[in-house]
């Protein structure tokens, strides 16, 4: 074969090869295009209903926190008087506010007269965080906290703002944050509840049990209430005429009946949760009694929490119990103040100092005690009310401040957040958050992130579609406060 024939043969072979390659690419594109346009095949129904439990689970991300203590000050602590000093407000004290846009809850008592804080602020800790003189003990742990001065929910009454901060939205019937964390991560204790609520001796906060409800998550993930007075957990002790042997035989017999019943009704989540609660109650007869027994603590620790003083005994006991619970593997502990304890529409100059005196020392002791025991790095502490207060006077029987959900303060410690850090700002009067605004859904996304969870992926399948804590809101993890 001459040179010309060889070249023609090579050209034909090259063209044939490229044509085959181009044809394959075109065919692949057409097939993928048709597949994309075709309707998705219907999802196959699950052959068995899913089951749920509280066994510890590893999150997909790297967790910084393993437990959380939520300190919820219901009513709306005044950020202007506690956390957010305003020199301009001091200068214009008694003059009329001309900024506009104020929304009042008590319209009949509204005024435009600015009211400066009665209490002095000073830098605390090496970080120089400015805090009110009403919080001397919190100032001692200022280097361990991140103070957020730009919280925002934008719903100006208690119930809706509480639901937003505790359950993600302003409506009832949704799972609480603690329920989501226990659903996603389980518990590190098999003889204590995964989610514990320490209520106030006076009453429940506004919205009551909705603050710790499981919503449409299985009832296994609802908060367990521990009362502020004995008996702290109702119906925990066995009958007085029952011996340990007969009690155990009864419980074993009951367990066998329950398990047989569950086999006959597989996938019944409420039934499974009820059986699990019975089994947990039996274990708690010993474990809970030990965890709630403060007599085991040293005199120094009791003094640290203020248990030796009348004003701080109640709050100090609950803060110390919270530490003992997370120490024993409880995932989420919520400490609730009483109904409207911080709702100072009137009498703020006497009521606010009283609330601070009751809570400041024990709360700061909790942070300090967790740190010295090596627990703060893995325990996220969060302190907040559902709102702050306005910079103008509310003219009630005695002077107070009305609601403000457009700019208020909260703080966090441990669990992967920065130490000695201030985030965000309100305007010059403390009325609205204006810099690095933190909405309730941003806070929730950040908390989930600290536990190694992705807020866009944590959900629960429901007939009407997957539900989540964030629920489609434009949440952003607050990276500026992460350690």
* Choice among 34-48, 158-172, 173-187, 427-441 with the minimum mean pLDDT: 34-48
Which pair of structure tokens corresponds to residue 76? 């709306």
Q: What share of the chain in percent tops pLDDT 90?
A: 72
DSSP for 328-391 reads TT-SEEEEEPPTTTT--SS-HHHHHHHHHHHHHHHHHHHHHHHHHTT-GGGEEEEEE-S-EE-S
What is the pLDDT confidence band of residue 275, given thresholds at 50, 70 and 90?
low
The string of pLDDT tens digits covering residues 238-267 is 666 666 666 667 666 766 777 776 676 666
Q: Does residue 401 have a pLDDT over 50?
A: yes
CA distance 50 to 263: 14
Per the model's pLDDT, the better-predicted residue between 1 and 363 turns out to be 363
The string of pLDDT tens digits covering residues 314-347 is 999 999 999 999 999 999 999 999 999 999 999 9
Which sequence spans correspond to the domains of the chain? 76-233+299-481, 242-291
CA distance 464 to 228: 39
Q: Does residue 58 have a pLDDT over 90?
A: yes
pLDDT confidence of residue 408: 98
What is the pLDDT confidence band of residue 483, given thresholds at 50, 70 and 90?
very high
Range 336-359 burial, b when 16+ CB lie within 10 A, else e: bbbbbbbbbbbebeebbbebbebb
412 and 381 Cβ atoms separated by less than 8 Å: yes
Q: What share of the chain in percent tops pLDDT 70?
A: 80
CA distance 381 to 368: 11
pLDDT confidence of residue 266: 65
In the DSSP assignment, the letter for residue 482 is: B
Q: Does residue 273 have a pLDDT over 50?
A: yes
pLDDT confidence of residue 232: 79
pLDDT confidence of residue 111: 93
What is the pLDDT confidence band of residue 271, given thresholds at 50, 70 and 90?
low
Classify domain 76-233+299-481 by CATH number: 3.40.720
What is the pLDDT confidence band of residue 305, given thresholds at 50, 70 and 90?
very high
pLDDT confidence of residue 255: 66
Task: Supply the mean pLDDT for the chain.
Answer: 88
pLDDT confidence of residue 28: 47
**For residue 21, what are the contacts with CB-CB under 8 A and spacing of at least 6?**
none
pLDDT confidence of residue 50: 74
pLDDT confidence of residue 463: 86
Cα distances (Å, whole numbers) of residue 305 to 94, 97, 311: 39, 41, 11
Instruction: Give alpha helix (H) positions in 85-221.
Output: 87-91, 136-140, 158-167, 177-185
CA distance 399 to 403: 14
Which pair of structure tokens corresponds to residue 275? 């059986």
Summarize the confidence of residues 67-90 as an average pLDDT: 98
Q: Does residue 66 have a pLDDT over 60?
A: yes
């Amino acid at each position: 074969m001459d040179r010309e024939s060889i070249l023609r043969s090579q050209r034909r072979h090259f063209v044939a090869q490229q044509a085959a390659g181009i044809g394959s690419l075109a065919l692949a594109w057409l097939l993928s295009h048709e597949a994309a346009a075709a309707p998705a095949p219907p999802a196959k129904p699950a052959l068995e209903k899913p089951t749920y439990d509280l066994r510890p689970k590893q999150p997909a991300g790297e967790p910084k926190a393993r437990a959380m203590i939520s300190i919820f000050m219901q009513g709306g602590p005044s950020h202007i008087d506690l956390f957010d000093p305003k020199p301009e407000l001091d200068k214009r004290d008694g003059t009329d506010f001309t900024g506009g846009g104020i929304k009042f809850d008590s319209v009949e008592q509204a005024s435009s007269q600015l009211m400066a804080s009665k209490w002095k602020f000073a830098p605390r800790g090496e970080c120089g965080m400015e805090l009110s003189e009403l919080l001397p003990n919190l100032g001692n742990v200022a280097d361990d906290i991140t103070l957020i001065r730009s919280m925002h929910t934008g719903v100006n009454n208690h119930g809706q703002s509480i639901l937003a901060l505790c359950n993600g939205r302003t409506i009832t019937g949704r799972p609480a944050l603690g329920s989501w964390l226990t659903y996603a991560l389980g518990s590190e204790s098999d003889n204590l509840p995964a989610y514990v609520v320490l209520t106030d001796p006076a009453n429940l906060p506004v919205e009551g049990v909705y603050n710790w409800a499981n919503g449409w998550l299985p009832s296994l993930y609802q908060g367990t209430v521990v009362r502020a007075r004995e008996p702290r957990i109702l119906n925990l002790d066995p009958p007085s005429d029952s011996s340990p042997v007969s009690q155990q035989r009864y419980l074993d017999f009951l367990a066998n009946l329950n398990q047989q019943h569950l086999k006959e009704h597989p996938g019944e989540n409420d039934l499974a949760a009820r059986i699990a609660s019975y089994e947990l109650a039996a274990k708690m007869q010993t474990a809970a009694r030990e965890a709630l027994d403060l007599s085991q603590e040293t005199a120094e620790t009791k003094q640290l929490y203020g248990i030796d003083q009348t004003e701080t005994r109640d709050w100090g006991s609950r803060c110390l119990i919270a530490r003992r619970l997370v120490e024993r593997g409880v995932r989420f502990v919520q400490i609730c103040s009483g109904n409207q304890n911080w709702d100072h529409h009137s009498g703020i100059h006497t009521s606010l100092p009283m609330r601070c005196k009751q809570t400041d020392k024990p709360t700061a002791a909790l942070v300090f005690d967790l740190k010295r025991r090596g627990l703060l790095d893995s325990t996220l502490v969060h302190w907040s009310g559902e709102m702050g207060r306005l910079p103008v006077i509310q003219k009630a029987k005695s002077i107070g401040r009305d609601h403000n959900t457009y700019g208020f303060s909260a703080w966090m410690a441990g669990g992967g957040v920065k130490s000695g850090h201030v985030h965000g700002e309100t305007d010059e009067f403390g009325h609205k958050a204006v810099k690095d605004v933190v909405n309730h859904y941003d806070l929730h996304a950040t908390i989930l992130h600290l536990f190694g969870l992705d807020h866009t992926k944590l959900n629960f399948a429901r007939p009407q579609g997957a539900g989540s804590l964030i629920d489609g809101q434009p949440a952003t993890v607050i990276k500026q406060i992460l350690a």
